[in-house]
Structure 1
Amino acid sequence: MNYKILVVDDEPQIQTFMRISLATEGFDYVGADTLAMAIVQFEHFKPHVVVLDLGLPDGDGIEFLSMVRKSSRTPVLILTARDQEEEKIRLLEAGANDYLSKPFGIRELIVRIKVLLRDLVSESFSKDILTFSALKLQRSTHQCWLYDTEVILTKKEFAFIEMLMITPGQLVKQTHLLKEVWGESHTDDTHYLRVLVSQLRKKFNDSADEQQLIKTESGIGYRLV
C-alpha cells in the first residue's frame, strides 16, 4: 500500500524537494505550509507519518504536535534548526517520535520515515484485538463484533476486514488485498473482492448506496469509514 506522508514546512524549496524525493520512494506526499493548513490536511488525509518543521508563519509546530497527540498516535518526525539538547528533550517529551536537525540529507530522512512506518505496522500486526469505531476483531479467536453483537465471518471475510483494520481509515489497494487474502496468482481477480464485499455488507447491514462502514474507492481499493 502507498503510505501518506504529511510534510509541514513553510519553505517552498523544501516542499518541492520533499515531494519529489517521497514520490521516488513510492510514498504519497501531502503538503502544508502553515499551522492552519496542517490541521486541515491531517484531519482530511489521515497521514501515516508527519514530517513537521517547528518554525511556521502562524504558530509553533509544537502546537500542531500537541493537537495530534490529543487524538492520535501517528508518528511525528520533527525538522528543527534548534540543536540544543534541552530543545530535543522537550520535543520528545511533547510526543515527537524522532527529530532531524537542519540541514539534513534526504537519504537519512527517508530511512527515518521507513523506521517509523516499520514500527507502526509491527505494532498493528502484533495486536490481538483490533478496534475501529463500533467494529472489533479478535485475531486469536477469529471473532468479530459490530456494536457488541458478534458477526460470524468466513476465513476470507475475516482476513479482508483484518487488512482494513491494520491501518484503520486508510485506503488499502485492491492488488494488496487480493495478494494477502487469495494469494499472488489472484492479483487481477477483482471480481473476488466485489463478491466478498457484497457478502460483508449484508452481514454488517451496510448498504452499497450508503457505505457507512466499508467504503469502495472505485477501481482502486477499500477503506473503513
Structure 2
Amino acid sequence: MSEGRILVVDDEPQIHRFLKPALIAAGYDPIEALTAAQAERLAATAAPDLMVLDLGLPDKDGKDVIRSLRGWSKLPIVVLSARDREAEKIAALDLGADDYVEKPFGIGELLARIRTALRRRDPGALAASRYEGDGLSIDFARRLVSRDGEPVHLTPKEYDLLTHMARHSGLVLTHRQLLGTVWGPAHVEDVHYLRVFIGQLRTKIERDPTQPQLIRTEPGVGYRFAE
C-alpha cells in the first residue's frame, strides 16, 4: 500500500532520476513535472498528497506556483531549492509552503520533512489532545504544561505561542506567521518582541536554554519546534 502520491516539480532530470527510486523505496508513488504549468495541472488532476517544489522553473517562479495553489488547495508543499537566501525561504514559507530544504540535500532529511508535512495534513494531527517530547507535556484540552512532571507556569501569550508551535511541530514557522497568529496582523514586523517571548519560553521549558532542543532557531527565518 502506497504511503502517498508525491508530485516532484523540478526542471532538472537528474533530480527526478535521483528522487524517484528513493521515494519508491520509502513507499511513495512519485509523479513528476518539469514546469510550473505541468505542476499546476497535475496538482488539480492527479490527486497528489504532497508536492516537492523547486523554485527555479523555466516558465514561472516556484513562489508563483505556491501563490496559485494556495488560492484553492491546502496541498502540503515542501520547497526543494538551491536558492539559499533567507528572503527566498521566508517568501516561500509566508506564501504557504510547509517546509524548505536546500540543495544539495540528503535524502534522509527530505523524507523526514515529507513525513512531517504529510502528518500535518491529517486533521487528527492538529486535533491531538496532548504533546509529549523531551520531558515536556502539554495538555491542550486542560491548558496545562509540565516539565518532567513539574508544572510550568506560563502567561497567556506564552501559552498561545507554545501551543501554536507544538501543534505544528517539525515544521518551520516564520516570524511573520507566529506574530500574525499569536499577536495579530498589526504585529507581524515586531520580530524583537517575538524573540523576547521565545527567550522566556526557553527559560521555562528547555533543560538548557543556552542549547535549546525544543524550540530550534531557523536563522533569519523563524523557528521549528521539535517533533
Show the counterpart of 2:196: 195
Which whole-Å CA distance do the structure 2 matches of 1:184 and 1:6 have between them?
33
Say if 1:180 and 1:42 are closer, same or farther in 2 by CA, change over 3 A: same
Percent identity over paired residues: 24
Q: What is the distance in 2 between the residues matched to 1:196 and 1:217?
A: 16
Q: Which deviates the most, 22-31 or 154-163? A: 22-31
User: Where in structure 1 are there 5+ consecutive unaligned residues?
Assistant: 32-36, 50-73, 76-116
CA contact (8 A) 1:46 1:170 kept: no
Q: What amino acid is the match of 2:171? A: Q
Which residue is equivalent to 2:93?
Answer: none
Which segment is superposed worse, 131-140 or 14-23? 14-23
CA contact (8 A) 2:7 2:33 kept: no
Structure 1 partner of 2:20: 9
Counterpart Cα distance in 2 of 1:43 and 1:15: 22
1:205 & 1:38 partners in 2: Cα distance? Answer: 30
**Separation (CA, whole Å) in 1 of partners of 2:80 and 2:180:** 27
Q: How does 1:30-45 map to 2 (within 5 A)?
A: 30=80, 38-39=107-108, 41-43=110-112
Could you list the per-position Cα deviations for residues 96-141 of structure 1 after superposition, in whole angstroms to 9, with x for gaps in the alignment?
A: xxxxxxxxxxxxxxxxxxxxx3xx2x32332222233432211222
Aligned residues of 1:135 and 1:144 also touching (Cα < 8 A): yes
Structure-to-structure mapping, 1:148-167, within 5 angstroms:
148-167=149-168
**Residue 207 to residue 123, structure 1, CA distance change in 2 (3 Å):** same
- Compute the displacement of 1:213 (Å): 1.9
1:159, CA displacement in angstroms? 0.9
CA separation in 2, counterparts of 1:220 and 1:150?
A: 31
**Secondary structure of the structure 1 residue equivalent to 2:32:** helix
| CA shift digits 1:25-76 (9 cap, x unpaired) | 2533349xxxxx7545213665413xxxxxxxxxxxxxxxxxxxxxxxx48x
RMSD: 3.2
Tell me if 1:141 matches 2:142: yes
Q: Which residue of 2 aligns with 1:53?
A: none
- CA distance in 1 between counterparts of 2:225 and 2:182 reads 17
2:205 alignment partner in structure 1: 204
Instruction: Provide the C-alpha distance between the structure 1 equivalents of 2:33 and 2:153, rounded to a whole number of angstroms.
Output: 47
Larger radius of gyration: 1
Which residue of structure 1 lines up, in the alignment, with residue 72 of structure 2?
none
The match for 2:66 among 21, 25, 29 is 25
TM-score by length of 2: 0.54
Question: CA–CA distance in 2 between the matches of 1:167 and 1:192?
Answer: 21
Structure 2 spans left out of the alignment, 5+ residues: 1-5, 9-18, 22-29, 40-52, 68-76, 82-105
Q: Secondary structure at the match of 1:216?
A: strand
Q: Does 1:217 align with 2:214?
A: no
SS of the residue corresponding to residue 9 of structure 1 reads helix
The TM-score normalised by the length of structure 1 is 0.54
Q: Residues 176 and 154 of structure 1: is their aligned pair in 2 closer, same or farther, counting only changes over 3 Å?
A: same
Q: 1:28 corresponds to which letter in structure 2?
A: V
Q: Is the 8 A contact 2:180 2:187 kept in 1?
A: yes
Q: Secondary structure at the match of 2:34?
A: helix
Counterpart residue number, 1:128: 129
Q: How many Å apart are 1:187 and its aligned residue?
A: 0.6
Deviations 1:137-158 (A, max 9, x none): 1122211122222211111111
Aligned to 1:34: none
**Which residue identity lines up with residue 66 of structure 2 in the other structure?**
E
Q: 1:135 to 1:16 in 2, by over 3 A?
A: farther
